[in-house]
Amino acid sequence: MRGIIDKLVPTVLPDITFSDRMTVRLGGKVVELIYAGLSHSDDSVIMHFPEERAVYAVDFVLAKALPYKDLPLSAYFYPEWLDSLHRLEKMDFDILIPGHDSVGTHKDVRDFRHYLEDLESAVIDGIKAGLSIEELQNSIALDEYRDWDLFDDWRALNIEGMYRQLMRKSNQHQDTGSIP
């Protein structure tokens, strides 16, 4: 709720809130609301529809599509995002409704997490090799994901964004002298 208030958007504030989990019944159907953890934001919620074996999870997971542009520091928490994806992977469902782009399956959550991990690994290797952002963008192919939506438009931006995410974490952990 704090995010709603902080954004100063004219909104009717909820009169029911929860911290980690809450189960509600809507029209005789059970809906489980589960806090996703830090990911795309600090207030993402997974809506689990157990009877339908479906989840609705917006902005922090996509089915066969790259995440938003340059992974803005103001909109993503990394590497905590991976924890949210792990949490979602442990859930029992078949249908993934990500809120943007195509509907997917449980497997798409794992594939999306693998994309982020592959992106992170490639950027870390490039940083260790002393490459600039432009050199990283020119050398990191991520061909395994070439058929995903927005690949041609956002691959280079995702590389730049991951670089910034890692540098932010590195600056926070400067005492260790390494990238977390």
- Give the SS3 label for residue 29: strand
Exposed e or buried b per residue across 156-167, where buried means at least 16 C-beta atoms within 10 angstroms of its C-beta? bbbbbbbbbbbe
Which tens digits make up the pLDDT trace of 19-33?
A: 999 999 989 999 999
Residue 41 CA to chain centroid, in angstroms? Answer: 9
> What end-to-end distance do the CA atoms of the chain give, in Å?
31
- Pick from 167, 60, 77: nearest CA to 115: 60
In the prediction, which pLDDT does 122 show? 98
Q: Which of 34, 30, 33, 32 is nearest to 51 (CA)?
A: 30
Low-confidence residues of the chain, pLDDT below 50?
175-176
pLDDT of residue 101: 81
Per-residue confidence (pLDDT) for residue 111, from 0 to 100: 98
pLDDT of res. 1: 55
Which one is the CATH code of 2-176: 3.90.1640.30, 3.60.21.10, 3.30.300.30, 3.60.15.10? 3.60.15.10
Please answer whether residues 140 and 123 qualify as being in contact, where contact means their C-beta atoms are separated by less than 8 angstroms. Answer: yes
